[in-house]
Amino acid sequence: MTSPVSEVPAASPAEALARFQARFRFETDCADVHEALATRPDFVLLDARSPAAYARGHVPGAVNIPHRTIGTETMRAYPAGTLFVVYCAGPHCNGAARAAVRLASLGFPVKEMFGGLTGWRDEGFALEEGASPSESGPAKVACGC
């Protein structure tokens, strides 16, 4: 008798290798973002939540552009080819994925910070409080999603 885990056979090692290697093109983790911000940031860290959520606590160095506002006009200040790393509240929220879709549709390379703000806190990394310079007032939804 098989368990629920092995009921569906595992992928071949070659398939697993291809899939897990591909994930690194789409995702990065909080520890890698933290290290890169401290040593050699070569990306823009984008908090996709509402201005109110951002003000309550965000990753230091992140810019706040709620995913609903990402468009040609809001991204005009960033040169083509700018790499964005996006995050939202955490794995229970799809705001980062929505931001990634919008950025990619505008031609920007993008990765998602796996775990979002929940993962950042779980790693023990500090948050910064305060409004974004671009804050346009309180949002109706806590995370902006």
Domains in the chain: ranges and CATH: 26-122 (3.40.250.10)
Q: Is the pLDDT of residue 93 over 70?
A: yes
pLDDT digits (tens, 9 = 90+) for 118-136: 999 999 999 999 876 554 4
What whole-number percentage of the chain has pLDDT above 90? Answer: 87
pLDDT digits (tens, 9 = 90+) for 44-79: 999 999 999 999 999 999 999 999 999 999 999 999
Across residues 19-32, what is the average pLDDT?
Answer: 96
Q: What is the pLDDT of residue 65?
A: 97
For 81, the 3-state DSSP assignment is: coil
**CA-to-CA dists, residue 51 to 3, 32, 46, 143, angstroms:** 46, 25, 12, 8
